[in-house]
């Protein structure tokens, strides 16, 4: 077993202490930054939110306005309900993008009449 020279051990301890001091300074700086963020509670703008999730600002605002108008001041929207609403909106958009708009009652009536009168029926 090799025993290190005492001066090498002291130098190694000095380097370790120096690295520890640097790490402590970095951690204190990070802690201060996090505390600033927490106490300032920085907000995100509608534009930043829309951009982050690849949506139009108008769509984000319309969603929030519609929910606010429907619920009013007395009721709030839960996170789960907001997620369900977003899923419904995304599913509806995906359907329309792939298959076209959903049929309304008048459209279904017209389609039924067309099928009933199609050649080879009756």
In total, how many domains does the chain have? 3
The pLDDT tens digits for 70-121 are: 998 888 889 899 999 889 888 888 888 887 777 788 888 888 888 888 887 6
**Euclidean distance between CA atoms 90 and 93, whole angstroms:** 5
Check residue 69 and give its pLDDT. Answer: 92
Ramachandran class of 72: left when φ > 0, alpha when ψ lies in -120 to 50, beta otherwise = left
108 and 88 housed in the same domain: yes
Within this chain, do residues 32 and 6 fall inside the same structural domain, yes or no? yes
Q: Are residues 5 and 26 in the same domain?
A: yes
Same-domain pairing of 70 and 105 = no
* Co-location of 70 and 94 in the same domain: no
- pLDDT of residue 24 exceeding 90, the answer is no
What percent of the chain lies above the pLDDT cut of 90?
Answer: 12
Task: Say if CB 61 and CB 46 are below 8 A apart.
Answer: yes
Residue 92 pLDDT: 84
Is 6 found in the same domain as 38?
yes
Is 49 found in the same domain as 36? no
User: How many CB atoms neighbour CB 82 within 10 A?
Assistant: 13
**Domain containing 108: what range?**
78-122
Instruction: Please state whether the predicted TM-score (pTM) of the whole model is above 0.75.
Output: no
Q: For residues 67 and 85, is the Cβ–Cβ distance under 8 A?
A: yes
Whether 64 and 88 map to the same domain: the answer is: no
More confident residue, 40 or 47: 47
Q: What does DSSP assign to residue 45? A: -
Same domain, 101 and 119: yes
Are 84 and 112 within one domain? Answer: yes
């Amino acid at each position: 077993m090799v025993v290190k020279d005492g001066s090498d051990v002291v130098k190694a301890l000095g380097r370790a202490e120096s690295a520890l001091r640097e790490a402590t300074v970095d951690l204190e700086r990070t802690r201060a930054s996090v505390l600033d963020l927490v106490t300032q509670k920085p907000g995100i703008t509608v534009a930043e939110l829309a951009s982050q999730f690849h949506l139009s600002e108008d769509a984000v605002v319309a969603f929030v306005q519609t929910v606010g108008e429907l619920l009013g001041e007395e009721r709030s929207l839960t996170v789960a309900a907001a997620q369900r609403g977003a899923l419904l909106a995304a599913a509806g958009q995906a359907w329309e993008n792939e298959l076209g708009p959903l049929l309304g009652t008048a459209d279904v009536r017209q389609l039924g009449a067309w099928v009933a009168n199609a050649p080879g029926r009756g």
